């Protein structure tokens, strides 16, 4: 009987120590992988909009997203650089006022959240299984940035905006940017600046 009591007591202590070591929602930190340029597939839910596409981050403030679904957005590419938004569609390239881009708030909020957190030495947040959830506030509302064990982007949520972005097939990238200027006339719109981007993607081990 004494042995049974001792065993139960020991088991209780072990379970307590295990639970106390990594409690759900506990504060934690891990290495920062957000500063690395990356390429990923993205699934987007924005209110009633469901979309799929690919996204790239070349550096602070320099992003690109290209949609594959739904049909109304398929083939649309948006490039964000130096405060400008360049839209491309079926070979046509034209500048778009930010107020005319339906997904501009979504992208600008994501960009700001990632770029701001990318500046820290380590990422701090709440543990959720293998993931780390980082909470913050932007002009567009509160957000939760979720990163994996390598500190790489996994998910972005803004509940007040009914926005969820899930990132898969994450790849780190070696990227060189060559800034240039060109003029393209399409649908009566002139482009005064463009970015030549060369990327060599290496799958994250």
Domains, the chain, ranges and CATH? 27-203 (2.50.20.10)
> What is the pLDDT at residue 19?
35
Alpha-carbon distance of 139 to 115, in angstroms, equals 15
Residue 191, pLDDT > 80, answer no
pTM for this predicted structure: 0.70
Computed on alpha carbons and rounded to an integer, the radius of gyration of the chain in Å comes to: 22
> What is the pLDDT at residue 192?
28
| Cα atoms found within 13 Å of the Cα of residue 13, Cβ hemisphere only | 6
């Amino acid at each position: 009987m004494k042995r049974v009591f001792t065993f139960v007591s020991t088991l209780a202590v072990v379970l307590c120590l295990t639970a106390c070591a990594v409690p759900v929602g506990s504060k934690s930190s891990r290495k920062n992988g957000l500063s690395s340029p990356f390429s990923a597939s993205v699934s987007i839910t924005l209110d009633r909009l469901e979309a799929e596409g690919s996204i790239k981050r070349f550096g602070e403030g320099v992003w690109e997203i290209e949609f594959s679904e739904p049909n109304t957005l398929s083939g649309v590419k948006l490039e964000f650089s130096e405060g400008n938004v360049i839209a491309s569609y079926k070979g046509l390239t034209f500048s778009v006022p930010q107020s005319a881009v339906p997904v501009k708030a979504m992208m600008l909020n994501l960009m700001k959240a990632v770029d701001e957190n990318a500046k820290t030495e380590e990422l701090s947040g709440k543990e959720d299984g293998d993931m780390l959830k980082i909470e913050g506030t932007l002009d567009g509302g509160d957000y939760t940035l979720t990163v994996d064990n390598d500190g790489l982007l996994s998910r972005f949520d803004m509940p007040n905006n009914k926005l969820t972005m899930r990132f898969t097939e994450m790849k780190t990238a070696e990227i060189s940017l060559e800034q240039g200027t060109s003029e393209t006339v399409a649908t009566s719109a002139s482009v005064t600046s463009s970015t030549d981007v060369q990327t060599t993607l290496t799958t994250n081990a």
